[in-house]
Structure 1
């Protein structure tokens, strides 16, 4: 389908700094009528919104996340829905030269009419549509109707029209999803994923309005600061104009706060395109740089542009955006004189090599209108709290809201930003490529001013997908699929991104071999090489507590281990009979094929599985031990990668400069790879991330019978007072201690390693800057031998309306102590830890105010040994 119909002025490729232009706007947000002729439904719905949230609000359907409603409500995404409403238009509006309908987001296939006159069509969820509507409007009452077509049905129709099959077709049956998502430009995971449901929405998911004016106006501003040769900064500014071919007569005034710098120039005549100009920041100007979380401050500057009348006083349009001054370099250079040992792959920020301590981001809800700024803030602050400085915006989701990027700017979370293509091959028809071109232009222009965006990646995992599908499925189509891949990402997307944004790197795919993939014609024979680029690694059968399991890549941009969400989170969407690990609904909720069985098998390598005869209690206990496994597995893998920051083996492996575990957040209540579940409760993994991403990491491991301890630092220390058994570091990671385990135990008086563990602390035992611990055997060997600990919550005190101290006591050493605040959303200062001292004090921070009695009554605590007695 064509992205626009005859009569459409253009699709404006602009940065939406604001949602309206003051008095020259008719806001069409709010209540619309929604009609389904097939079912005879007519309900009201709020815009921005979707058909699902409208049906929920009208009590036509129950919670879509309850039990198997993702399957029960499939009919919604397979039917067509029509949005309609009335609105008033004055004679003054119609007197303007330009009257346009601006739709910031329409999901996905629709025909737009005003007063029965067709004004355009939409077919891309990620575009901002602008239609000329002056001729269709009348003074007084008007009707606008947006008639949607089912994205599910449209995808199937486009697949039928394709000259050849384009995988993947349909998802794994375990996902209960829909087919042919790759044929349409829509949030790919809305057709299901192995961690989420299928809710392929329809609706007006971002703001919509009618705007009117007589002369061109500044719709938005984008700006890219560049450090030039003489150490001054040049800000490359673009004024995005609406509407083309209208006259301008005024002055553009530009100011940069905190500097006193000012620039102005005259605009006169007819504007036919956006306006480009440079704003120089002399080297003498004091500029504070923007740094990633943990490396410095996240200084932001307000860049304000005023378009004023020739008298210099009457403001026609004023826009302000926040920018940060920083440089990014992706370094790919030989690691040795031996060319076969490959290239580095790491980032310099402001000329400083930065290790990416990161995670991956997926959409925070299946219904994007429910993702509030508060929800975003809680998730992203939870990331920053555990030292995360980078995060991949994953290619199967959406280009996020402005609030998302602003928070990442403020928190110093660098974004490895996929474009929205993931785990599939894609068409290269002229219609598809035309829509993609407009999408990439719009989104890069909209987002490029944000200093937090680290790089653009053309897709997620599709370089490897080409080889996989060619080898396993359709060898006879190999040249066709390779050609399509290069056509889409290299010939179409790459030139657009690189022409619009010179401030950050573009990589064609992730994972990829980077420069080596380019050398091989953009599709490497081994896209997961340990010698080039970035790598994704999953293994659902191996021992994930053994560091020898893992590769040694240049950068690990995705890896993970699955675990159930917290019990009280899943309890809300299950019936009583479902609260059994082996129930039909527990299996339905698991969208990764054989996932529930794999979690049990991997956990059982280390921990004896609970045996309670009460299936509900057993389910709770299983969730607890599986979360232990997930936390320990990702700890083991992340620390393994961090230890290789400065190491280069004789075989050329090493110099690992980033770990982005899969994944930070959940889209619903289910077993997934997330470290924070849908109810914003931290899983044990998130508490462990605070330790394995510690700026001063103690990382011990045992290989054979030899203990090795590494110290991994975000910065090289000037001086440390090491003990006599350790050595001074002159780099950010290195071995500081090695010794035979038997010798250590003999010196400590431990006669059986099953009764002992190793505890490590940095600088001071009483007030350590960092700690770690290491078991000397698997817990399957010691369970039943260690005494049950009598852990008590001995005292709870109020620090504020949202902060409390919680004091724990124990009579024995207790591994994996887990304290829970049932019904109270928030996080503890530590959790899932080994309690080695008789008393320990924690701090709990709640998301919302709560009284002391309510909080105290919500608390419970357990350790691993408690569930077997």
Structure 2
């Protein structure tokens, strides 16, 4: 599935009635056949996915999208057939298949290396001039290289040329939020020696940028962060899985653009293309180049051991070579990673590998430490290769690619999941160098789920329908537990009200949990603890998107609709944030984090106390601060003393909460943030009357929505049955009226927009039957 196949058809074509027949075997039967053959020697686990996945077995024996055999976020559809375009290449002499482009600093110059891969001609020898142009309309550089007597390597011509230019000639490519994304056309042409021969060429767009993965001694281990053009970058983003469970639909231009634009719009600068899916379409990488989204690119091996016979390794070599050559020129790709969680699975004995550990270790090292690594370094020495994720980076390499603890917080990247502790307690989260996976499940919106069934009974939690779509073991129980840890879920007096509340509350829990965990990682950007943990430089939550409507970890539904999590990402990934760490002792650290290299002087930090029954602040503390790049802890607050010295706050301070704001002389420079001293289920949050008061058309697709409330309200949530994005959502109402802009995907008459809108909030009376109101 991951290899481009080229079949010579000269000598086969007829003047008419040509027919191409491709015969496919069932991937389910083939995987079983390959498993049985392998098992004659030894078993390569796991045999099957967990039963709750409702999936198929032995995905690790075929080179297909591993998640198409089912995962904990998606269904099983092991596809078969042609999923990419079939086309004929007609040429007299040769044609250019792929072009690679590398940039390396060389004093005040850049050294550019261009590698050209060309199909062979009948003579198996190439003569002529290789012409390379780089530049845009303002400045085009041209190089001509004589090519004489180049022989084929294998079944292709490979020509590599180096040239240098002053750095000052070029504008640089930067990640989103750090600068512009300048792309230059790079055109490679082969001019044959025979003047009557055809000139063949290929053009790609390239960014001029330097990338480095820094792993140097810090604390009790090594750092792990990306430098782009010499600047340390805090990676903010998410993990991307296939946009559709049927791979032939993964190149849907509208959906891919919507997902990437949604990532950019919430300040993401990195996406990890996860190793259980597929190598994404050219379109995705082109858009990532244009939008400044760095790509952490896994190879497609995930959560399994894999057979290491020669036939399998030969297939892997072809796959990796093809994909690296296809994608290498993209400036957005900053890292190649061998697999997802296979080192952790091996060392953690996930699949009983301890019984034959010597053999499985040897297989692992052969596949990721040698085969894949060698192909990557041969075809792209300009980027770092990691053997796995999570991994200890160079520390794992020192251990011959298998560390005793691949999730060590002192090295590399970590994946962290915990569904049995209170997800809003910031103290449960680790302090790693780089968090490349973490997250919580949530349901899609109730209205979205209504689109996939004709019966409202199907949407009751734990119905047969809902259980079929819940693939995570204990998933519904975990979501209920996490809700009850923080929110007031009333008894099932009215099952329909309870059910709708459950849908909504899972999104609140997910959004707040990922927000708290992400802000925790950003807080540790500039600090080390006593154990040497810290200097955290990356936060990629799980997951960005999903392929169907079901309980998943995604922030974007399969329809493209944003969950509350994705709206919250716009705030917790903002260039500047003000955030807090509440300790069990009720002491609170207030921290400001900035990604901006330019300092901001004399900003105003306000720490204001509010009572749940008033829009007016009870008290506030004001401080002038200077903001520098990185994280800086500004003040420590004794929350109990800070609140209870005010008459409006009870002795147990349940009826007050704190708002943090950061501004300059003219405007807010960070999203507002809140500290809830107690679990919200214990706070006297009022049953506010929240309504949509006014809807007005600004432009054909921009709608002004005015929301009103008589009392403070939390997690105010606007929904529409029409496709679009709100400027803000899941917000706190600390004013009588708030104006929100709704950006429609397509024009709709205002009357239709009004009918489509709905608003709710945490203490919406609709969720609480009158007999249970307090």
Fold conserved between structures, TM > 0.5:
yes
State the shift of 1:634 in Å: 0.5
Question: How far apart are the structure 1 equivalents of 2:130 and 2:739?
Answer: 58
State the shift of 1:284 in Å: 6.2
SS in 1 for 2:18: strand
Q: Which moved more, 1:245-254 or 1:802-811?
A: 245-254
Residue of 46, 56, 63 corresponding to 1:168: 46
SS in 2 for 1:376: helix
- Give 1:255's aligned residue: 133
How do residues 323-722 of structure 1 correspond to structure 2 at under 5 angstroms? 323-336=206-219, 341-371=220-250, 372-469=252-349, 473-576=352-455, 577-611=457-491, 613-703=493-583, 704-722=585-603
SS in 1 for 2:185: strand
Unaligned runs of 5+ in 1: 1-124
Residue of 695, 703, 707 corresponding to 1:808: 707
Report whether the alignment pairs 1:196 with 2:77: no
Question: How far apart are the structure 1 equivalents of 2:627 and 2:700?
Answer: 44
State the shift of 1:150 in Å: 0.4
Cα shift readout 1:409-464 (whole Å, capped 9, x = no counterpart): 11111111100000000000000000000110000000000000010000010101
Cα shift readout 1:315-368 (whole Å, capped 9, x = no counterpart): 5322110001111111111114xxxx1111111111111001110000000112
State the shift of 1:772 in Å: 0.8
Question: How far apart are the structure 1 equivalents of 2:204 and 2:31?
Answer: 38
CA contact (8 A) 2:708 2:737 kept: yes
Question: How far apart are the structure 1 equivalents of 2:370 and 2:149?
Answer: 36
State the shift of 1:779 in Å: 1.5
How many residues end up aligned between the 2 structures?
737
State the shift of 1:240 in Å: 3.0
Q: Which moved more, 1:679-688 or 1:283-292?
A: 283-292
Question: How far apart are the structure 1 equivalents of 2:570 and 2:742?
Answer: 15
State the shift of 1:139 in Å: 2.9
Cα shift readout 1:623-660 (whole Å, capped 9, x = no counterpart): 10111000111011101111000111121011111000
Question: How far apart are the structure 1 equivalents of 2:230 and 2:632?
Answer: 22
Question: CA separation of 1:266/1:560 partners in 2, compared to 1, >3 Å: closer, same or farther?
Answer: same
CA contact (8 A) 1:216 1:271 kept: no
How do residues 119-130 of structure 1 correspond to structure 2 at under 5 angstroms? 125-130=1-6
Question: How far apart are the structure 1 equivalents of 2:419 and 2:29?
Answer: 35
Question: CA separation of 1:357/1:669 partners in 2, compared to 1, >3 Å: closer, same or farther?
Answer: same
Question: How far apart are the structure 2 equivalents of 1:265 and 1:764?
Answer: 56
SS in 1 for 2:88: strand
- Give 2:681's aligned residue: 780
State the shift of 1:250 in Å: 4.1
Normalising by structure 1, we get a TM-score of: 0.82
State the shift of 1:729 in Å: 4.7
Question: CA separation of 1:547/1:213 partners in 2, compared to 1, >3 Å: closer, same or farther?
Answer: same
Question: How far apart are the structure 1 equivalents of 2:101 and 2:626?
Answer: 44
Normalising by structure 2, we get a TM-score of: 0.92
- Give 1:852's aligned residue: 750
Question: How far apart are the structure 1 equivalents of 2:197 and 2:282?
Answer: 29
Question: How far apart are the structure 2 equivalents of 1:681 and 1:271?
Answer: 53
- Give 1:759's aligned residue: 659
Question: How far apart are the structure 1 equivalents of 2:686 and 2:94?
Answer: 78
CA contact (8 A) 2:172 2:208 kept: yes
Residue of 142, 149, 153 corresponding to 2:18: 142
SS in 2 for 1:855: helix
Question: How far apart are the structure 2 equivalents of 1:275 and 1:488?
Answer: 26
Cα shift readout 1:28-67 (whole Å, capped 9, x = no counterpart): xxxxxxxxxxxxxxxxxxxxxxxxxxxxxxxxxxxxxxxx
State the shift of 1:279 in Å: 5.0
Question: CA separation of 1:157/1:794 partners in 2, compared to 1, >3 Å: closer, same or farther?
Answer: same
Report whether the alignment pairs 1:741 with 2:620: no
Question: CA separation of 1:744/1:396 partners in 2, compared to 1, >3 Å: closer, same or farther?
Answer: same
Question: How far apart are the structure 1 equivalents of 2:381 and 2:126?
Answer: 29
State the shift of 1:777 in Å: 1.4
Question: CA separation of 1:136/1:658 partners in 2, compared to 1, >3 Å: closer, same or farther?
Answer: same
CA contact (8 A) 2:437 2:540 kept: yes
Report whether the alignment pairs 1:213 with 2:91: yes
Cα shift readout 1:682-718 (whole Å, capped 9, x = no counterpart): 0010011111111101112321222221001102553
Question: CA separation of 1:786/1:766 partners in 2, compared to 1, >3 Å: closer, same or farther?
Answer: farther
Question: CA separation of 1:328/1:848 partners in 2, compared to 1, >3 Å: closer, same or farther?
Answer: same
Root mean square deviation, CA, Å: 2.0
Report whether the alignment pairs 1:132 with 2:132: no
Unaligned runs of 5+ in 2: 605-621
- Give 1:187's aligned residue: 65
State the shift of 1:555 in Å: 0.4
Question: How far apart are the structure 1 equivalents of 2:79 and 2:263?
Answer: 29
Residue of 190, 197, 201 corresponding to 1:307: 190
How do residues 7-22 of structure 1 correspond to structure 2 at under 5 angstroms? none
